[in-house]
Amino acid sequence: MTIPDHDEDQLLRARIMLASEIERASAVLSSRVVEAFLNVPRHPFVPVFYREEGGFHRPCENDAGWLREVYADRVLVTEVDGVHAEDAGPEGVRGAATSSSTLPSLMADMLDALDVRPGVRVLEVGTGTGYNAALLCHLAGAAHVTSVDRTERLVAAARTRLREVGFAPTVVAADGAGGYPGDAPYDRIIATCGVRRLPLTWLDQCAPGGLIVVPLGGAVARLTRLPDGRAVGRFLPRPAAFMPLRDGGTAAPEPAGPTDADGRAGEAGSSALDDPGFAFWAGLHLGPAVARSSPRDFWRTVEAAHRSWLDQHCPRREWFTVEAGPEGQFASYTAPDGTTTRWPL
């Protein structure tokens, strides 16, 4: 796929615009992260992406709005049900998004939490387009970055695009749940896909004192690896939704939809789950058994969770701690009165 031509001044202005959007959307970021977005172009990694129109995902490339959308703070869908945007016909495709370029401001928050410095060894799970890997290369040095994704198709495209912008990290097709033992141990591990529980292989491959930033249980967690093999930390403040970790191209199972058998969502109302703060709290109460619950049991649990959330004065996700280790994985909240509630992940 040929990348559209634009003059250097236009591309520089676009990167400055994106960096400015990121700074407005995020908490205070380190200057190193902002500088990475100013210096690493996004457009080589998303030469084609999908726009959704009337239930169809249609490929978009080099039209009047292409560059503006590429350098906006927005998610760009690049694969739908395994069909890459470059391979789709003009009529488009139906289905669910299976790969995308993440919201840049969320990428910035996660990179800031990862505290990447020159020379640290980094593992990225979920190469995707390769854009985040390029930012990691800028921050740590390409020789210190390893990135894995589920298919050779994604990996080959990302590897080519990284090389075109001057980076040559290790990029391999592998089951992300297994990490990549060949370059372990790592000082930093970052995932760009969601998991319900932290794979223990990531803990094994993270050096003591290292950091892990991962979308965990519906929010992004930042954990520090302890010498005893556990990792502990907290959740980042902003809400985040990621596609689930997949192995070998097989999608992770999705929970059953929250529809009530008698058409009643209950006293909390289905709109309660639109509140990101409550959705996180409810997810902890529902736990991994949600896919096996009946619609009526689902809403009973949601209602009870909503009452307890209000009773606790709507605690924020950044007030929760998270712990992962061989003995189990838990999220915990300590109320002002000292009472601690713990949920298994």
Q: Which residues are catalytic?
A: 99
Residue 203 in tokens: 């803990």
SS in 3 state form for the chain? CCCCCCCHHHHHHHHHHHHHHHHHHCCCCCHHHHHHHHHCCCHHHCCCEEEEECCEEEEECCCCCHHHHHCCCCCEEEEECCEEHHHCCCCCECCCEEEEECCHHHHHHHHHHHCCCCCCCEEEECCCCCHHHHHHHHHHCHHHEEEEECCHHHHHHHHHHHHHCCCCCEEEECCHHHCCHHHCCEEEEEECCEECCCCHHHHHHEEEEEEEEEEECCEEEEEEECCCCCEEEEECCCCCCCCECCECCECCCCCCCCCCCCCCCCCCCHHHHHCHHHHHHHHHHHHHHHHHCCHHHHHHHHHHHHHHHHHCCCCCHHHCEEEEECCEEEEEEECCCCCEEEEEC
Please state, in angstroms and rounded to a whole number, the distance separating the CA atoms of residues 190 and 108. 12
Please state, in angstroms and rounded to a whole number, the distance separating the CA atoms of residues 227 and 207. 8
| Cβ–Cβ < 8 Å for 158, 229 | no
Q: Which residue has the tokens 């959308």?
A: 69
